[in-house]
C-alpha cells in the first residue's frame, strides 16, 4: 500500500488536504473510491473520539486492490469563515468537494475512470445519490449508516429518544426545549430562501436554510430513479441511525429493485465498529474507546466493488 498526499480543489477558494491510498500491486488500472464524511467538521480520517474509520477503510480497501481518496471536510478547515454565511448548505459543505474528488481520480492515469465509486457515511450516505446526480457520475454507490429521511426528522427522532431515556424531572425540563426545536422545523419549507437564511434553528449559526436546501433534494427520489448498483449497510447496534426507520426505510422504499443490495451487521455501531454501550447518551464515551472498522465490512465492500 502506498499513500500520496494530495489536494482536492487546488486553485479554488477552498483547497483541501487529502490522501490517495493506492494498492501495492498494479495489474492494469485501479478501481477507486471517494470517501464522504458524515455531519459536522471532520478531518480526512473522519476521526471521532479515538476512532478513525476512514483511515481504516482506505488502508483496508487498498490491500484489496482498490484506490481510495479521502480529504478534510471543508467545514473542518474553513469553518470559521463559513459559519457566518447564511446561505451555507450541504452543497458548499460536502457535495461540491466530493465531485471535485471524483474529477481528481478521473484525471489520474492509474485509475479506471469507469470504475469510480462513492462511499458515503451517515450524512455523507444521505448525500451520495445527490453527489452522483450533480456530477459525481459514479459506477456505484455505497451508503453506510445513511437515511432516507430528512435531516430534521432524524434530529427530532434522536431528541425524542434522549428525552425518553431521562428521569421524570429532567424530562419535564428538556421537553420544552425539544418542543421549541420542533416548532422551528414545522414551517421551514414554507419560508422563502431569504427568510430561511435569517431564521436560526440550532445555536448561533445553524439556519433553517441549511435544512430547507437539503430537504429539497430528497435522497429517496434519486434512489428510486437510479439503476446503477447500490450497496446499503448498517450496524445492528447503531443508535444514531434507526434500524427500523433508516435501514428498514431503505428496504421498504427500494423493495423490488434488483440493483440494490442490503447488508446488516450484528453488534456493530454507527462507525461499523463493535458496540460498547449501545446507548445514545453514552455515545461520546463509546467513541473514546479506540477500535477499528470491522474487517468483514471492508471485505464485503471490496468484494462488491470488484464484482461490479
- Verify whether residue 270 is a known catalytic residue: yes
User: 149-180 burial, b for 16+ CB within 10 Å, e for fewer?
Assistant: bbbbebbbbbbeeeeeeeeeeeeeeeeeeeee
- Count of C-beta atoms within a 10 Å radius of residue 267: 12
Name which of 153, 76, 96, 154 is nearest 122 in CA terms: 154
- Verify whether residue 192 is a known catalytic residue: no
Selecting among 42, 122, 147, 241, the annotated active-site residue is: 122
In the chain, what is the straight-line distance between the N-terminal and C-terminal CA atoms, in Å?
23
Selecting among 62, 270, 292, 302, the annotated active-site residue is: 270
Selecting among 45, 72, 238, 246, the annotated active-site residue is: 238
Helices and strands (H and E) in the chain: how many:
13, 10
- Verify whether residue 62 is a known catalytic residue: no
Name which of 59, 1, 66 is nearest 31 in CA terms: 66
What letter would DSSP give residue 132?
I
C-alpha cell at 296: 468483514
- Which residues are designated catalytic? 122, 238, 270
Amino acid at each position: 500500500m502506498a499513500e500520496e498526499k494530495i489536494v482536492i480543489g487546488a486553485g479554488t477558494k477552498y483547497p483541501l488536504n487529502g490522501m490517495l491510498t493506492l494498492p501495492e500491486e498494479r495489474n492494469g488500472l485501479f478501481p477507486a473510491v471517494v470517501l464522504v464524511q458524515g455531519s459536522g467538521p471532520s478531518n480526512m480520517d473522519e476521526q471521532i473520539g479515538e476512532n478513525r474509520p476512514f483511515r481504516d477503510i482506505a488502508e483496508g480497501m487498498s490491500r484489496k486492490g482498490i484506490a481510495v481518496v479521502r480529504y478534510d471536510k471543508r467545514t473542518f478547515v474553513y469553518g470559521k469563515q463559513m459559519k457566518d454565511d447564511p446561505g451555507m448548505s450541504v452543497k458548499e459543505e460536502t457535495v461540491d468537494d466530493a465531485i471535485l474528488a471524483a474529477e481528481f481520480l478521473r484525471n489520474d492515469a492509474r485509475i479506471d475512470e469507469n470504475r469510480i465509486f462513492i462511499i458515503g457515511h451517515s450524512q455523507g450516505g444521505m448525500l451520495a445519490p445527490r453527489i452522483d446526480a450533480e456530477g459525481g457520475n459514479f459506477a456505484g454507490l455505497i451508503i453506510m449508516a445513511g437515511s432516507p429521511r430528512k435531516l430534521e426528522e432524524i434530529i427530532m427522532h434522536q431528541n425524542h429518544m434522549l428525552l425518553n431515556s431521562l428521569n421524570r424531572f429532567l424530562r419535564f425540563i428538556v421537553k420544552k426545549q425539544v418542543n421549541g426545536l420542533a416548532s422551528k422545523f414545522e414551517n421551514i419549507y414554507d419560508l422563502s430562501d431569504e427568510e430561511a437564511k435569517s431564521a436560526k434553528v440550532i445555536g448561533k449559526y445553524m439556519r433553517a436554510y441549511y435544512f430547507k436546501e437539503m430537504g429539497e433534494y430528497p435522497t429517496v427520489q434519486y434512489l428510486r430513479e437510479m439503476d446503477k448498483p447500490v450497496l446499503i449497510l448498517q450496524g445492528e447496534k447503531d443508535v444514531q441511525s434507526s434500524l427500523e426507520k433508516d435501514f428498514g426505510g431503505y428496504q421498504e422504499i427500494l423493495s423490488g429493485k434488483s440493483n440494490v443490495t442490503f447488508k446488516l451487521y450484528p453488534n456493530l455501531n454507527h462507525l461499523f465498529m463493535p458496540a460498547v454501550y449501545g446507548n445514545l447518551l453514552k455515545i461520546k464515551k463509546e467513541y473514546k474507546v479506540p477500535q477499528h472498522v470491522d474487517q468483514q465490512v471492508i471485505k464485503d465492500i471490496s468484494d462488491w466493488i470488484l464484482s461490479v
